[in-house]
Amino acid sequence: MTDRILIAGSGQAGFQTAASLRQDGFESEILIIGEEPGLPYQRPPLSKGYIKDPNPDRLLFRNADFFEKNRIGLEDGRTVTGIDRADRTVTLSNGRTIAYGHLVLATGTRNRRLPLPGIDLDNVVGLRTLADAENLRERLAGASRLVVVGGGFIGLEVAATARAAGLHVTVLEATARLMSRVVSPPVSEYFYAVHTASGVDVRLNSLARAILDDGAGKAGGVETAEGERIPADLVLISAGVIPNAEIAEAAGLYVHDGVRVDDLLATEDPAISAIGDCASFPFGQEGLQIRLESVQNAIDQAKCLSRRLVGHPERYDKLPWFWSDQGPHKLQIAGLTAGADHHEIRGGVDDGKLSVQCFRLGELIGVETVNVPGDHMAARRLLSQPTPLTLEAVQASGFDLAALMKAGASRG
């Protein structure tokens, strides 16, 4: 028997679990197995500042000293390839077998591969890892026409940076609006307007059908389902991700869009938990099971799991929040806004800022802002309170979240 906590995955969630365990007083061995080479690093800058100003050291969560001081073992460049639940051991890609007292699955996601002709051509790239970001940065420097397949956060962040650097940029989005999975229509419209105004050619309802070979083994363009051929010397595919859950599934754990966990972030095996992008967890009162891809979720779930592993179990119920920097525009989202049936909109493109309060069945469920950080912070506070805010209460304040927050603070 061992007390060792073994963490599969050295990303945001895996690193945070190890750091929190030490902070929470866990004394036994902690070992992280990470597929990527090197020390754990943060991904958000990869599609933002890193393209313009690359400095890998600035991405690191902590340097090597931190790991040594805190007795956090890291085997990088290795994957966990199998789990033996009966023996409580894992097998690594180098053939080694390691025993665990508790296994944390923090394996994240990988980019969805589109089954398109030409997808393997040399200058068709994705963005998930530091290695991807290096590759993208080098290729952007020599490119003049970029086609981005997928109008989500990452595709639009790169599109804005590439456009600012003078490239001709086209974004192909399969649905009727940008970031349609995660933001309300007013926010999609705002970003459509600002990207178009900056010269990005945004095509909605536009499906890529093939990547065209330029005759020399490189992509020369993208063909859309309507048969249009858009020239390109670089193609970025940013069409969503797939959770890395195969090792969990092979071990007999329940997997459905991620490794399924309960509100303590535990799988059906008491010795295995799953957190971060790879985990599907219960959310809200309606029995929903969701999977989120965000730094907030990875960090808060890691902290919650650490508390349980040191003997203080708490239900996971943190408010989700997100951000995305697209050129000079800062999008911030508090709460989950899909399913809203009423939007209160303040501002717009002409004001250079926007605030969208999203209501469902007469209650505030989330707030999306562009360039209004004060509203975002107020929304996070208000939405974290146990009692939901009604439409009437928000209306009575003149839809002024900062005033509502102050009123709440003075009451409490």
Ligand X SMILES: Cc1cc2nc3c(=O)[nH]c(=O)nc-3n(C[C@H](O)[C@H](O)[C@H](O)COP(=O)(O)OP(=O)(O)OC[C@H]3O[C@@H](n4cnc5c(N)ncnc54)[C@H](O)[C@@H]3O)c2cc1C
> Site residues (CB under 6 A) for ligand X?
8-14, 33-36, 43-44, 46-47, 79-80, 106-109, 127-128, 154, 244, 247, 276-278, 293-296, 298, 322-324
Q: How far is CA 175 from CA 185, 204, 221, 242, 254, in A?
A: 12, 6, 21, 19, 31
Would you say 104 or 230 has its CB closer to ligand X?
A: 104
In the complex, the smallest distance separating the C-beta of residue 332 from ligand X, rounded to whole angstroms, is 10
Would you say 255 or 298 has its CB closer to ligand X?
A: 298
β-sheet bridge partners, residue 170: 147, 201
In the complex, the smallest distance separating the C-beta of residue 47 from ligand X, rounded to whole angstroms, is 4
In the complex, the smallest distance separating the C-beta of residue 368 from ligand X, rounded to whole angstroms, is 14
In the complex, the smallest distance separating the C-beta of residue 44 from ligand X, rounded to whole angstroms, is 4
In the complex, the smallest distance separating the C-beta of residue 74 from ligand X, rounded to whole angstroms, is 11
Amino acid identity of 232? A
Token pair for residue 253?
């754990």
Would you say 129 or 224 has its CB closer to ligand X?
A: 129
* Strands 288-290 and 279-283, bridge-based pairing: antiparallel
Would you say 218 or 380 has its CB closer to ligand X?
A: 380
Would you say 110 or 381 has its CB closer to ligand X?
A: 110
Would you say 243 or 347 has its CB closer to ligand X?
A: 243
In the complex, the smallest distance separating the C-beta of residue 147 from ligand X, rounded to whole angstroms, is 18
In the complex, the smallest distance separating the C-beta of residue 94 from ligand X, rounded to whole angstroms, is 12
CA distance 233 to 353: 34
Q: Which residues contact 162 (CB under 8 A, 6 or more apart)?
A: 51, 140, 143, 146, 169
Would you say 43 or 308 has its CB closer to ligand X?
A: 43
Would you say 128 or 195 has its CB closer to ligand X?
A: 128
In the complex, the smallest distance separating the C-beta of residue 292 from ligand X, rounded to whole angstroms, is 7
In the complex, the smallest distance separating the C-beta of residue 249 from ligand X, rounded to whole angstroms, is 12
In the complex, the smallest distance separating the C-beta of residue 50 from ligand X, rounded to whole angstroms, is 9
CA distance 86 to 133: 40
Residue, CB closest to ligand X: 11
Would you say 75 or 233 has its CB closer to ligand X?
A: 75
Would you say 39 or 389 has its CB closer to ligand X?
A: 39
In the complex, the smallest distance separating the C-beta of residue 305 from ligand X, rounded to whole angstroms, is 12
Would you say 78 or 218 has its CB closer to ligand X?
A: 78
Instruction: List the one residue out of 233, 211, 216 whose CA is nearest residue 142.
Output: 233
Three state DSSP letters for the chain? CCCCEEEECCCHHHHHHHHHHHHCCCCCCEEEEECCCCCCECCHHHHCHHHHCCCHHHHECCCHHHHHHCCEEEEECCCEEEEECCCCEEEECCCCEEECCEEEECCCEEECCCCCCCCCCCCEECCCCHHHHHHHHHHHHCCCEEEEECCCHHHHHHHHHHHHCCCEEEEECCCCCCCCCCCCHHHHHHHHHHHHHCCCEEECCCCEEEEEECCCCCEEEEEECCCCEEECCEEEECCCEEECCHHHHHCCCCECCCEECCCCCECCCCCEEECHHHEEEEECCCCEEECCCCHHHHHHHHHHHHHHHCCCCCCCCCCCEEEEEECCEEEEEEECCCCCCEEEEEEEHHHCEEEEEEEECCEEEEEEEECCHHHHHHHHHHHCCCCCCEHHHHHHCCCCHHHHHHHHHHHC
